[in-house]
């Protein structure tokens, strides 16, 4: 095994753990902060949702986000990267949070679908920016795959509920 800096040639078994570069550390901090925000926002959607199927979908999304946060926090601890502050786990919401004139299930669905699309793009950009650390690049590869699968399920759910936009058919001349 030959290791030059963070670059490895030969069998990976004997390689020591690559160091984190400044860009990768910044990606971890920024992405963890982003996911903390996503969890907080998704909890608010869960509280406001009325449809039981939508609530199940949101709950599965929260579980996925928490899993992703755990993986990010583990990487940050492993590389001694300071973690950003996290929002409180519980937030007291006003009693009238389910006022459908303010927000409805279709609007919640669209926000979640849009958020999933943005997360796929963000994870892909992070994957492309991580050059030296193979394990981080692999982690973000998995994030992209998982988020795409969630987005596919979200689209199927939206079609089933009739919440996706219906465009006129394309008729070429």
Cα 42 to Cα 69: distance, rounded to the nearest angstrom: 14
In this structure, the number of other CB atoms found within 10 A of the CB of residue 72 comes to 24
- Indicate if the pLDDT at residue 12 is higher than 90: no
Looking at residues 33-37, what average pLDDT do you find?
Answer: 96
Global pTM reads 0.81
User: Whose CA is closest to 46, among 66, 61, 35, 64?
Assistant: 61
Cα 32 to Cα 72: distance, rounded to the nearest angstrom: 6
Q: Give the pLDDT confidence of 49-76 residue by residue, as tens digits.
A: 999 999 999 999 999 999 999 999 999 9
Question: For residue 7, what pLDDT is reported?
Answer: 61
Question: For residue 48, what pLDDT is reported?
Answer: 95
DSSP string, the chain: -EEETTEEES-STTPPPPPPPHHHHHHHHHHHHHHHHHHHHHHHHHHH---HHHHHHHHHHHHHHHHHHHHHHHHHHHTTPPPPP---S-----GGGG-TTT--HHHHHHHHHHHHHHHHHHHHHHHHH--S-HHHHHHHHHHHHHHHHHHHHHHHHHHHHT-S--PPPP---
Q: Give the pLDDT confidence of 100-136 residue by residue, as tens digits.
A: 667 899 999 999 999 999 999 999 999 999 999 999 9
Domains of the chain: 18-88+100-161 (1.20.1260.10)
Looking at residues 29-56, what average pLDDT do you find?
Answer: 96
Residue 100 has which token pair? 């459908």
When pLDDT is cut at 50, 70 and 90, the band that residue 19 belongs to is confident
């Amino acid at each position: 095994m030959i290791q030059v800096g963070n670059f490895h040639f030969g069998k990976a078994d004997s390689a020591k753990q690559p160091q984190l570069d400044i860009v990768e550390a910044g990606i971890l901090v920024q992405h963890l902060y982003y996911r903390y925000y996503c969890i907080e926002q998704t909890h608010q959607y869960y509280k406001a949702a009325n449809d039981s199927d939508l609530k199940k979908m949101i709950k599965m999304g929260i579980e996925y986000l928490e899993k992703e946060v755990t993986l990010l926090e583990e990487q940050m601890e492993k590389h001694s990267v300071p973690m950003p502050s996290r929002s409180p786990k519980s937030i007291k919401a006003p009693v009238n949070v389910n006022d459908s004139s303010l927000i409805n299930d279709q609007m919640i669905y669209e926000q979640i679908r849009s958020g999933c699309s943005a997360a796929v793009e963000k994870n892909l950009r992070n994957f492309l920016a991580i050059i030296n650390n193979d394990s981080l690049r692999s982690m973000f590869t998995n994030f992209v795959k998982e988020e795409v699968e969630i987005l596919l399920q979200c689209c199927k759910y939206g079609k089933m509920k009739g919440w996706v936009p219906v465009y006129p058919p394309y008729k070429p001349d």
